[in-house]
Amino acid sequence: MTKRVRTAVIPAAGLGTRFLPATKSQPKEMLTVVDRPAIQWVVEEAVAAGIDDVLIITSPTKKGVEDHFDRMTELETLLEAKGKVEMLQSVRQITEMATFHFTRQGAPFGLGHAVSMAARHVRDEPFAVLLPDELLPDGGATLRRMIEECEESGSSVISLFEVDGPEISNYGCAGFSSRDGDVVEIDQIVEKPAYENAPSNLKVTGRYVFTPDIFDKLDVTEPGKGGEIQLTDAMAMLIGDPGLRGLVIKDAGYDAGQKLDWLRANVELSLDDPVVGSQVADMIREIMQGRGLS
Ligand code: UTP
């Protein structure tokens, strides 16, 4: 029986070049989505899926990420003295929802390299990896399913999403040998395939549950494109030894590391917000009418 998944690893040491100039001195993971940084949404998703231990891979320029999940006694004392109970709770809840650990990658040697930094922390346990720029606000449902699948089968499980036509050429693509409902047995992974050669229409998305076998594979992964250690190359080595499964998800959420989708996340998630949702709906209606768009 596979050990329980307890830890979420969140690689946050990338440069965020797709979101310049916003990310020149501010970590992409700290960009606000509605009322909290993107990375907090992702931690909350992991916690909702049953995880209580979080390891964030940061870099020397991402001190803000570490501070966000640390206690801020001065602020808490001030809020307490002013009787701002709700604000105090929202600040405390950030640090109390899990145990946080941080390790620095040093330089962005690639996503695979960032994940390998977790080896000493998770040791021989299976663990989840969540990319902090991909928001999946589904109350942890997808990640929970992936964890169950990994714990039951003993295989690593990655999330996959169907895309239309040539779009697949922009992503990692997974081919499969068999399918049982929404779970596939992966038999190949190709990075950005030409549309004609793509083994399927399933793109790899930013949620993974790995058995510790991934560390052995990362150890022998040669630097790939741009001299980076690619996670995809290590995942490809898991196929057949000991095996790699995919969960086909119905909603891939938002790519908050990219301007347009970040804006969409802000609009949709603020519409869902119980406090400001109806005001945001009114505001959007007003803007549309004012511009003659509706
Ligand atoms: P991305 O390639 O999407 O992020 O990596 P990036 O490199 O920050 O962004 P762009 O492409 O320049 O705009 C996916 C995730 O992996 C992390 C990133 O922080 C991001 O959350 N990552 C990437 C690392 O932690 N280390 C790396 O060396 C590379």
Alpha-helix residue ranges (DSSP H) falling in 195-258: 213-219, 231-238
Same domain, 229 and 189: yes
Distance 131 CA to ligand 1 centre (A): 8
Task: For residues 189-206, give the mean pLDDT.
Answer: 96
CA of 89 to the centre of ligand 1 (A): 31
Q: Are residues 168 and 266 in the same domain?
A: no
Does residue 130 share a domain with residue 116?
A: yes
Rounded Cα distance between 216 and 55, Å, is: 19
Question: Which residues does residue 233 pair with via DSSP β-bridges, in sequence order?
Answer: none
Residue with the nearest Cα to atom 9 of ligand 1? 16
Q: What is the CA radius of gyration of the chain?
A: 20
Residues 30 and 142 in one domain: yes
Q: 214 alpha carbon to ligand 1 midpoint, in Å?
A: 19
Q: Determine the pLDDT at residue 1.
A: 58
Q: Is residue 1 part of a domain?
A: no
**Cβ-based neighbour number of residue 169 at 10 Å:** 16
Beta carbon of 65 within 6 Å of any ligand 1 atom: no
- Domain extent for 112: 7-257
pLDDT in the model for residue 268: 97
pLDDT exceeds 70 at position 8: yes
Tell me: do 157 and 222 sit in the same domain.
yes
> Do residue 139 and residue 193 come from a single domain?
yes
Domain-located, residue 2: no
Hey, what's the torsion of the CAs at 250, 256, 257, 259, to 10 degrees? 110
What pLDDT score was predicted for residue 68?
96
Q: Are 108 and 121 in contact (CB under 8 A)?
A: no
| Domain annotation covers residue 24 | yes
Q: How far is Cα of residue 235 from the mean position of the Cα atoms in its chain?
A: 17
Domain match, 236 and 272 both: no
- What mean pLDDT, rounded, does the chain reach? 95
Q: Is the CB of 11 under 6 A from ligand 1?
A: yes
pLDDT in tens, 122-153: 999 999 999 999 999 999 999 999 999 999 99
Q: Which atom of ligand 1 is nearest to the CA of 13?
A: 25
Angle, helix 141-153 to helix 38-48, in steps of 10 degrees: 50
Q: Are residues 203 and 266 in the same domain?
A: no
Residue 152 inside a domain? The answer is yes
pLDDT at 40: 98
Rounded to 5 degrees, φ, ψ at 186 are: -75, 135
Nearest residue to 136 via CA among 253, 48, 30, 49 = 253
Tell me if residue 39 falls in helix, strand or coil.
Answer: helix
The CATH number linked to 133 is: 3.90.550.10
Distance (Å) of CA 214 to CA 127, 156, 188: 10, 8, 16
283 and 189 part of one domain: no
Does the structure show a pLDDT above 70 at 286? yes
**Ligand 1 close to Cβ of residue 17 (< 6 A):** yes
| 33 lies in the same domain as 140 | yes
Q: How confident is the model at residue 2 (pLDDT cuts 50, 70, 90)?
A: confident
72 part of a folded domain: yes
Crossing angle of helices 259-272 and 277-290, in 10° steps, is 120
End-to-end C-alpha distance for the chain, whole angstroms: 57
How many structural domains does the chain have?
2
Residue 106's pLDDT is: 85
Please tell me whether residues 249 and 262 are part of one structural domain.
no
Give the tens place of pLDDT for each residue, 241-277. Answer: 889 999 999 999 999 988 999 999 999 999 999 999 9
Task: Assess if residue 270 is contained within a domain.
Answer: yes
Are 129 and 61 contained in the same domain? yes
**How many angstroms is it from 217 CA to the middle of ligand 1?**
20
Task: Tell whether the model's pLDDT for residue 167 goes beyond 90.
Answer: yes
Give dist(CA 188, CA 176) in Å, integer: 7
Q: Residue 110: helix, strand or coil by DSSP?
A: coil
Q: How far apart are CA 153 and CA 247, in angstroms?
A: 13
Helix (H, G, I), strand (E, B) or coil at 209: strand
Q: What pLDDT is recorded for position 224?
A: 85
Q: How confident is the model at residue 28 (pLDDT cuts 50, 70, 90)?
A: very high
